[in-house]
Amino acid sequence: MSERFDDQSRPANPEREDVSLSDSPVTNRKSPLLLMVTMVIVLIVIVVLFVVLG
């Protein structure tokens, strides 16, 4: 019983939930910027792959 109590009262679980909740609005705000950055990175990787393979 004591072990189960320790698992439930662990501070990591609520912290993780708080992090995920606080991350969602941040990612929503930066979603267009992150999309642009990821698209640019993907394009660069594709170009590099084509150059290396070509």
pLDDT, tens only, 38-51: 999 999 999 999 99
Overall average pLDDT of the 21-34 stretch: 64
Q: What is the pLDDT, as a whole number, of residue 45?
A: 98
What is the number of domains present in the chain?
A: 1
The model's confidence at residue 26, banded by pLDDT at 50, 70 and 90, is low
Q: How far is CA 4 from CA 1, 8, 9, 11, in A?
A: 5, 6, 9, 14
- 3-class SS string, 1-54: CHHHHHHHCCCHHHHHHHHHHHHHHHHHHHHHHHHHHHHHHHHHHHHHHHHHHC
What is the residue range of 11's domain? 2-53
